[in-house]
């Protein structure tokens, strides 16, 4: 078997320049398009990551509230607290200060517990009841807030 060569017609050298390659303008245009696309995708991924962290922190807080209500009915009064450094949510028994749950929040997440009396803890009685309270969770410039009915744990929009 012998190799056959194909002769291209004149002007069909594969590029717009006479040397068969790409021009500098063509290469720069491709680099600019790739850079812009990469920037758009990176911003979109960062926003998605922030949203996921925010939803995760909200879910952790709501789960901890439900767990506190259940444990207080089984073990007696329980406190739910938030510590700023390190950022974590904790459940502990009132009588013995025994730690029942400890949830570490991501570093970018900041939370605020808003009650009628300034405090970083909420006390659940033996029936799982607590005073009403509001929660705010912040990541970067995004804030999620909700109001928790102390008697039932029902979650609504925050009070104004």
Helix (H) or strand (E) holding 128: none
Task: Please state, as a whole number, how many other Cβ atoms lie within 10 Å of the Cβ of residue 47.
Answer: 12
**Residue 129 DSSP one-character state:** -
Name the CATH superfamily for 31-156: minor pseudopilin epsh domain (3.55.40.10)
Cα of first residue to Cα of last residue in the chain, in angstroms, is 86
Mean pLDDT of the chain: 80
pLDDT category at 18 given cuts 50, 70, 90 is: low
0.85 cut: is pTM over it? no
> Looking at the predicted structure, is the pLDDT value of residue 120 above 90?
no
Helix (H) or strand (E) holding 40: helix 24-75
pLDDT category at 125 given cuts 50, 70, 90 is: very high
pLDDT tens digits for range 65-109: 888 899 999 999 999 888 777 778 888 999 898 988 888 877 777
Of all residues in the chain, what percent carry a pLDDT higher than 90?
Answer: 16
pLDDT tens digits for range 135-152: 888 887 788 888 888 888
pLDDT at residue 93, rounded to an integer: 92
Measured between alpha carbons, how far is 90 from 110 in angstroms, rounded to an integer?
15
pLDDT at residue 73, rounded to an integer: 92
Is residue 138 within 8 Å of 121, Cβ to Cβ? no
């Amino acid at each position: 078997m012998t190799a056959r060569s194909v002769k291209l017609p004149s002007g069909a050298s594969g590029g717009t320049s006479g040397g068969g390659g790409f021009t500098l303008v063509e290469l720069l245009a491709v680099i600019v398009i790739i850079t812009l696309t990469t920037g758009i995708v990176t911003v979109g991924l960062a926003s998605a990551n922030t949203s996921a962290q925010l939803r995760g922190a909200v879910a952790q807080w709501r789960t901890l509230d439900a767990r506190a209500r259940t444990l207080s009915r089984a073990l007696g009064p329980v406190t739910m607290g938030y510590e700023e450094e390190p950022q974590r949510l904790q459940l502990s028994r009132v009588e013995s200060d025994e730690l029942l749950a400890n949830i570490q929040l991501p570093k970018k997440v900041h939370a605020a517990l808003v009650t009628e009396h300034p405090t970083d803890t909420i006390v659940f009685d033996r029936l799982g009841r607590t005073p009403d309270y509001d929660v705010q969770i912040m990541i970067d410039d995004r804030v999620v807030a909700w109001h928790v009915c102390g008697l039932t744990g029902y979650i609504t929009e925050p009070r104004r």
